Amino acid sequence: MLFPTPGLRGGVPDLRYHLISLISVFLALAIGILLGVAVADEGVVSERLEAEITGIQDRLDGQRVEIEARDREIASLQERAAADESVEGAMSETMISDRIIGYEVALVAGSFADPETVEGVESALATAGAEVVFAETLEAPSSASEVTSGIEATTPIEGDYTDVALSAVEASDDSIPPQAVVFVGGGELPPEAPSGALDALNEAQAEMLEVWENAGLRIVAAESSDAGRSEVELFQSAGVASVDNADTGAGRAAIIQLLASDEDGSYGIKDTASELFPPAPE
């Protein structure tokens, strides 16, 4: 008796078995071909990616070199600017030193003026030999009630500024007004400033300048070169001499120059300036 062997049924070869075997072989070949193609494609893709990555890296390296060169150039310019500023400061100090010895000055700072600019102006006055007999910083309006006139003809902030102006006039011990007042203004209003604050400030400051003018004081107004909100046009409308770069040595020297003369006009670096620096006294 013959026992059936694999692939045989009753000693007769099973055609389906062979067919399955052939299919398995062909599947194996197909899988091998596909794997080979995939590996080949992966190699091509990998080469392309490597080429693109290399190109990007080269461009980044080139940009890095350019950035480093620009950084060196910027650093050099900054060093030169610092050196120029140092020279300007030294020249300014030499120019104004003891220029107005014994000159009595009232120094008033606007509510939004740059504090460092105010300090610089005060230092310049001391270097020039002036005596600051009155120094005050105006209060900023903090509520709508301070900038609203209501029944009164003036706003509360205008009344406060007028009081400060009168105090500056009466600052001297012998009741004689100081010879001049330096007002440092400008500066951005904060977002929380009450509505109408800008108009009220302009009116209050105009009234304050008028008080000083009526008292016969020499008035020099100033602000920093980056004040944000410039008040030069307000000073011009009041007929007050002004300097728009009081945060620089040249600007502080211009203030002293104006105090030592009777020159009017607007000086500095902004479009509203008529000249860079006041003319030298004859």
pTM: 0.70
Last residue of a domain, one of 77, 96, 115: 96
Could you list the residue range(s) of the whole structural domain that residue 192 is in? 98-267
Q: What is the pLDDT of residue 272?
A: 95
- Domain end residue (candidates: 46, 75, 96): 96
Residue 281 domain flag? no
Residue that finishes a domain, picked among 58, 74, 96: 96
Residue 40 amino acid letter:
A
Residue 89, Cβ neighbours under 10 Å: how many?
16
Is residue 124 included in any domain, yes or no? yes
pLDDT at 152: 64
Report d(CA 19, CA 23) in Å as an integer.
6
Query: Is the backbone of residue 74 left (phi > 0), alpha (psi -120 to 50) or beta?
Result: alpha
Model pLDDT, residue 141? 87
Report the pLDDT value the prediction gives residue 189, as an integer from 0 to 100. 92
Identify whether 272 is part of a domain: no
CATH number at residue 199: 3.40.50.2300
E strand or H helix that includes residue 133: strand 131-137
Which pLDDT does position 29 carry in this prediction? Answer: 53
A 10 A CB-CB count for 280 gives 8
The number of folded domains in the chain is 2
Distance separating alpha carbons of residues 138 and 1, to the nearest angstrom: 124
Tokens of 188: 């951005």
Question: Tens of pLDDT along the chain (282 residues)?
Answer: 333 434 444 444 454 444 455 455 555 555 555 555 555 555 555 677 677 778 777 787 888 888 888 888 888 888 777 776 666 666 677 788 899 999 999 999 999 999 999 999 999 999 999 999 999 999 998 888 888 876 667 889 999 999 999 999 987 666 678 999 999 999 999 999 888 899 999 999 999 999 999 999 999 999 999 988 999 999 999 999 999 999 999 999 999 999 999 999 999 999 999 999 999 766
